[in-house]
Structure 1
Amino acid sequence: MSRAALTKIVRPRTLQAPRALRPAVLSLVSHRATPNVTRPLSMSWKRSLATSSIKLATTSPVVQKKLDSFIPLIDFSKFLHGSETEREQIAAEILSGFQNAGFIYLQNHGVAPDAVRTAFATSARFFAEPDDDKLNLSWLSPESNRGYSARGREKLKRVGEGGGEDAAPPDMKESFEIGREGDPAFPNQWPRDGTMVEGFKDTMLGFYGLCRQLHGNVMSAIAVGMGLDAKYFESFISSGDNTLRLLHYPGVDASVWKNANAVRAGAHSDYGSLTLLFQDGRGGLQVQSPSGDFVDATPVEGAIVVNAGDLLARWSNDTIKSTIHRVVEPPAKEADSYPPRYSIAYFCNPNHSSFIEALPGTFATEDSKKYKGIQTGEYLVQRLTATY
């Protein structure tokens, strides 16, 4: 079977880069977009509005015809359930996508649509809660990397491994981090029973488990693509030291986007090994192409975006790319304001105790290793400390 028959290609719309890397100016954003009503909104009404406003990814054939050939769209069911030949072919396509683009779209990935919809609805209800209640669950330290981060706290780095790191001003978003449950040193920050969002903990732990399983399957595909045993990475990721991150980019007034520097999340690369990204239908994610331009990673119905992070690039001796990306304003003006954007990211890491050095087959001699070995936990704390 030809590679074209196995892998469809998603063709993102190319955008020029000159204002791409200029960071957001947060002083312009002092409030969220307000519905056109003359009386204050009750909290229950706001929660209902947040939940009902989420539109999950849909992409029409008309949109896809306008896209450029950069990020491959891969049917993962052929790796999960296919023949040995199909598994090897899909593994090769996945590895090629990470080596050339650093990003892939994954369809038929095994996370049920109902689970995704429930996670998004629950996330929206959480972010609709009063700020004071969310601040009671605040993110505390790089070591724990759990809890709520208000708008303006995070300052992303524009460049990852191997170069100078220019800190951008904080981004226009709020987030909530969930780590491995049951770690006595770093417990998760859950709302108390009977407060805030009903079923929040159970929903998010269930979704965390689904993402953890998908992480293992994608790492298995990478191993097969690299000519390693399919179980090569299992001992490196057995603890599940990953982070589920709920993200909310609040709605903003259209006047904000008149400023050329305004972006929802500045250009950056991710720190860990892989990121599994579930998007709503608003769009806004852009990926830097090899030419330096930014292209839209247009939401595709039923697919998730998976990208390689800095640690996987380091682990692969830079044979895999960790690609710069950002979140910008929507492509079309919507009345006097832009609606909120929601996404859910699952940041995948090796066990914090795992020692990471160049993988077999990625170097010819010891001198050709580009990086010294490092323990995952030490590496992540270094990166997170610089971010918050």
Structure 2
Amino acid sequence: MTASRYSSTLAEDVRSDSTFRIPLIDFAAYKRATSLAEKRCIADDIVNGFKEVGFVYLTGHVIEPGTVDRVFQKASIRIYNRAEFFQLPEETKAKLAWDDPKANRGYVQVGRERVSTSVDAAEIASLRAKAPDTKESMEIGRENHPMFSNKWPQETEVPEFKQTMLHFFQTCHEVHTMVMKSIALGLDLPEDFFDNKIDRQDHNLRLLSYPPIQTSLLLGDGQARADYGTLTLLFQDSIGGLEVQNPHTEHYQSASPIPGTIVVNAGDLLARWSNNVLRSTLHRVVAPPAIKINATEGMTPARQSVAFFCNPNFDAIIESLPSCTSTANPSKYPPITTEQYIVGRLAATYEIRPDMKF
């Protein structure tokens, strides 16, 4: 549920499921602001949203709708009888398989990922066996990495796929930079505080496809997760499925798609960086209502989404921000690099076979 400003405060609203809301913020006002005071007004709204909920909706043509539509088309929609990425033959996609948590690039087949708040490999393996994943994804990193290369389909297989995704990657990075500037201001830091800590674009663009599935194969609720990096920019189709846990009641609330908006949530590293001043909130994707196919069975509609996982530079040291600690509130975490944290979480999330070489 969403709302603009009420007479009640966000902190008051989120304490009850009946009034829970994810704030809707016009980020265009931040971009066109001509003074720090004007920027601070929007920055305070954003930081307050991350403090109380962990999520915000950004509106104001943050990214032009046509740019987002193009990414969705190249990922999964059949155009003029030509297969786009997720409609390629399985053997074609398998040649691009994800195989290295340090690289975090390539195609992830249905059933391989098992997201969880756990970091225990055995527990995650048990969860995977009980409730297999029902989506496929394509993971894309920065193109100019000195050690790792993206895995692209041939141009003849999906024309303009590579250039579309690289353009979108850069566009999302620019949004990340601007939002982090606003967070810095809202946390009483210089606006450019994060600039040299996020400028290498060590991010991850994830294209997600949820094929139709029979309801009898859906084993329980969606998999709860909290994202690993600083921010996640989520682009939903009209079907949606995202649910956000109310931090106060621990009940899940729908984060329905709002046309022209980006859903943005704080990740684990941003929570850690802020000494838990900002929330990394659990969320999940649940199956949409099924279409009945007989007296006892239904079929969910196909759906897709695009997520841009924003990360600090992989060699950045994440330690509690000076404005988020005090004598009365010392740092809760030891310093850690982005790479140490994220690679460890990725290795546990995906099934890593003994024959894989890193």
Report the AA paired with residue 32 of structure 2: H
Task: Give the deviation of 1:305 after TM superposition.
Answer: 0.5
When normalised by structure 2's length, the TM-score is 0.85
Task: Give the deviation of 1:361 after TM superposition.
Answer: 1.1
Which of these residues, 201, 208, 212, is aligned with residue 247 of structure 1?
208
State the match for 1:299 in structure 2: 257
Task: Give the deviation of 1:335 after TM superposition.
Answer: 3.2
State the match for 2:26 in structure 1: 75
For residues 312-331 of structure 1, the aligned pairs below 5 Å read: 312-330=270-288
* Distance (whole Å) between structure 1 residues aligned to residue 255 and residue 328 of structure 2: 37
Task: Give the deviation of 1:317 after TM superposition.
Answer: 0.5
Q: Does 2:115 align with 1:156?
A: yes
Q: Which string of whole-angstrom CA distances, capped at 9 and with x for unpartnered residues, describes residues 234-272 of structure 1?
A: 010010100000001111124335xxx334x40111111
State the match for 2:101 in structure 1: 142
For residues 170-319 of structure 1, the aligned pairs below 5 Å read: 170-194=132-156, 196-257=157-218, 261-263=219-221, 265-289=222-246, 290-319=248-277
Task: Give the deviation of 1:77 after TM superposition.
Answer: 0.5
Please tell me whether the aligned partners of residues 290 and 301 of structure 2 are also in contact (alpha carbons under 8 angstroms): no
Q: Secondary structure at the match of 1:305?
A: strand
Task: Give the deviation of 1:164 after TM superposition.
Answer: 12
Q: Secondary structure at the match of 1:220?
A: helix
Q: Secondary structure at the match of 1:252?
A: coil
Task: Give the deviation of 1:172 after TM superposition.
Answer: 1.0
Q: Which string of whole-angstrom CA distances, capped at 9 and with x for unpartnered residues, describes residues 55-83 of structure 1?
A: xxxxxxxxxxxx84321010000111124
Task: Give the deviation of 1:193 after TM superposition.
Answer: 3.2
State the match for 2:79 in structure 1: none
Please tell me whether the aligned partners of residues 7 and 74 of structure 1 are also in contact (alpha carbons under 8 angstroms): no
Task: Give the deviation of 1:375 after TM superposition.
Answer: 1.0
Task: Give the deviation of 1:159 after TM superposition.
Answer: 5.1
CA 132–68 in structure 1, closer or farther in 2 if over 3 Å, else same: farther
- Percent identity reads 43
Number of matched pairs: 325
* Distance (whole Å) between structure 1 residues aligned to residue 348 and residue 311 of structure 2: 18
Please tell me whether the aligned partners of residues 159 and 268 of structure 1 are also in contact (alpha carbons under 8 angstroms): no
* Distance (whole Å) between structure 1 residues aligned to residue 271 and residue 172 of structure 2: 21
When normalised by structure 1's length, the TM-score is 0.79
Which of these residues, 39, 63, 74, is aligned with residue 122 of structure 1?
74
CA 293–165 in structure 1, closer or farther in 2 if over 3 Å, else same: farther
Q: Secondary structure at the match of 2:235?
A: strand
Structure 1 residue runs without a partner (length 5+): 16-66
Q: Does 2:326 align with 1:364?
A: yes
Q: Which string of whole-angstrom CA distances, capped at 9 and with x for unpartnered residues, describes residues 306-349 of structure 1?
A: 0001111100001111000111121x342332111100000000
* Distance (whole Å) between structure 2 residues aligned to residue 7 and residue 172 of structure 1: 40
Task: Give the deviation of 1:109 after TM superposition.
Answer: 4.6
Q: Does 2:86 align with 1:97?
A: no
Q: Which string of whole-angstrom CA distances, capped at 9 and with x for unpartnered residues, describes residues 39-70 of structure 1?
A: xxxxxxxxxxxxxxxxxxxxxxxxxxxx8432
* Distance (whole Å) between structure 1 residues aligned to residue 6 and residue 40 of structure 2: 14
